[in-house]
Amino acid sequence: MLVAHALLILIIGKIYQMLIDWADNRNIFWLSIPFYMIAVGLVFMTHLVDIVVWSYALIALKIFEIDTNAFYFAGEIYTTVGYGTFPLPENWKILPIVVAFSGIFAASMSGAVLFNMIGQIIRKKTVQ
């Protein structure tokens, strides 16, 4: 899951870099701002995809039978909120830790790429 997330984030970051270089070469660097907003939305969607994948993995493992419960559990653990609403069978007690670590590392990767994108805007010439 983390490898797939990392690849998606890398692709978003690379496309963003290509777009702002293209805009800078044509003296329309102001487009970097809307490009950045679109990139933020795409990064956000990668996290939703991660949660959905975790949800269906939980259903496939027969830990949850209802989609909404699986999605809620995956979302609360992935974001490390972890209310503990759902008791897990004894052999799955480690699962929340695994899901939480994947969420923490995915958020870290996303934050690093978004920070780099802002840096690219700042390092380029002044937005016109």
pTM for this model (two decimals):
0.85
Span 2-123 CATH architecture:
Orthogonal Bundle (1.10)
Q: What is the pLDDT along the chain (128 residues), one digit of tens a residue?
A: 889 999 999 999 999 999 998 998 898 888 889 999 999 999 999 999 999 999 999 999 999 888 899 999 999 999 987 777 788 888 898 899 999 999 999 999 999 999 999 988 887 765 44
Determine how many CB atoms are found less than 10 A away from the CB of residue 108: 10
Amino acid at 3: V
